[in-house]
Structure 1
Amino acid sequence: MTGERTGHFWDAVEGRTPMPAATTTLGWSLIHADTERGEIEVSFEASEEFLNPAGTVQGGFLTAMLDDTMGPALAATLGPGLYGATIELKVSFLRPARPGRLVGRGRVVHSGATIAFLAGELLDDAGQVVAVGSATTRIVRTG
C-alpha cells in the first residue's frame, strides 16, 4: 500500500490520535492487518485485575477483547469519516482463559454499504481457542 493510511483506526494505531481508553486497558496491540482481505491479528494483555472469583479471566473482558478484535478488522478497511458501530455481538466461551497474553484474530465475513458481518476468535499463548464471536455492525459516518 502506498500513501498514508487514514481513518479513525489508522489514526490511533499510527499515533496521530490517542488510543481509546478501553483499548489501552485491555492491553491491545496490533500484530498484523490485511486490509485487502479484511483480516486482523491483535494481542491483549489479560491482567490479574480481569480475574473472576474462580481465578480465570471474566467473560466480560473476553467479550470486550473479541469486540476489539472484530471491530478493528472492519475499521482497518474503512476510509476517513466511517466507523463500524456494533449492533449485535455473540460470544461463546470454550475454555477458561488465564492471565497473560491472548491473541485475537478477526475477519470481515461480508461488508455492504451500511452493514457488515464479522467473526473472530481469541487464543491463549498455547494456541488454544478460548472464545469465539460474531458481530453485526452498522457502518456510519462520523462528524
Structure 2
Amino acid sequence: MSEQQGHITSAKDLTGFHNLLGYHHESWTEGETVIALEVRPEHLNLAGVIHGGVLTALMDIVMADSGTYCPYPGRRRKALTLTMTTTFTGQCSGGVIRATGRKRAGGKRIFNSTGEIHDQDGNLLAIAEGTFRIRSGSEGPEGVPI
C-alpha cells in the first residue's frame, strides 16, 4: 500500500490505461515512487516475454509520479511527459516486477527523473530517463482535486 494518502494505490482504484496495466503503488514519497506489476499473459509479446511497451508505460508513470508527490488526501499533482528514453536490458515472462522512479533535478514547472525496472529476482529489465512538465494547477504541493 502506498505511503501516500488519498492517491490511487491499488488496481481496483485505477482507471483507463492504468487499470489495463493493473499495477499498484508500493511506496510514493517526495522524489521517489515504486510501483509493482504482476506480469500476466496479456503483458507478453509474441515471443512470450514482457512487451517493451508495458515496460515503457511503467517507466513513464513511475518517473512522472516521482516528481508529483502530493501529501493531501483527495488531491493529486499531474505532469506530462516532454521526453523519455528507455533502454531494455533484460527479459522476463512472469512474476512480479518493480519500477522505481527518482526525481533528479528540476525547477518550478520542469523536472528530470530516472527509472529502473527489476524482476522479482532483482535482474534489471530496463532503465530510463525523462523530462516532465508540471500541469497547470499542480505547481503547488496541494495539487488539484482527484
With the shorter chain as reference, the TM-score category is 0.7 to 0.9
| Number of residue-to-residue matches in the alignment | 131
Q: Compute the TM-score of the two structures, normalised by the length of structure 1.
A: 0.80
The residue type paired with residue 8 of structure 2 is A
SS at match of 2:78: strand
Q: Give the structure 2 partner of residue 62 of structure 1.
A: 55
SS at match of 2:14: coil
Q: Is the 8 A contact 1:26 1:46 kept in 2?
A: no
SS at match of 1:63: helix
Query: Which of residues 111, 115, 123 in structure 1 aligns to 2:110?
Result: 115
Query: Which of residues 86, 89, 105 in structure 1 aligns to 2:81?
Result: 86
Q: Give the structure 2 partner of residue 133 of structure 1.
A: 128
Q: Give the structure 1 partner of residue 24 of structure 2.
A: 29
How far 1:19 sits from its partner (Å)? 2.3
Q: Is the 8 A contact 1:84 1:140 kept in 2?
A: yes
Query: Which of residues 8, 15, 26 in structure 2 aligns to 1:12?
Result: 8
The residue type paired with residue 64 of structure 2 is G
CA deviations 1:104-138 (Å, max 9, x no partner) are 11110112111110111000000111001111101
Query: Which of residues 45, 53, 61 in structure 2 aligns to 1:52?
Result: 45
Q: Compute the TM-score of the two structures, normalised by the length of structure 2.
A: 0.78
| Structure 1 Cα separation of the partners of residues 89 and 120 of structure 2 | 15
SS at match of 1:12: coil
Q: Give the structure 2 partner of residue 96 of structure 1.
A: 91
Consecutive unaligned residues in structure 2, runs of 5 or more: 138-143
Consecutive unaligned residues in structure 1, runs of 5 or more: none
| Structure 1 Cα separation of the partners of residues 70 and 113 of structure 2 | 12
How far 1:81 sits from its partner (Å)? 6.8
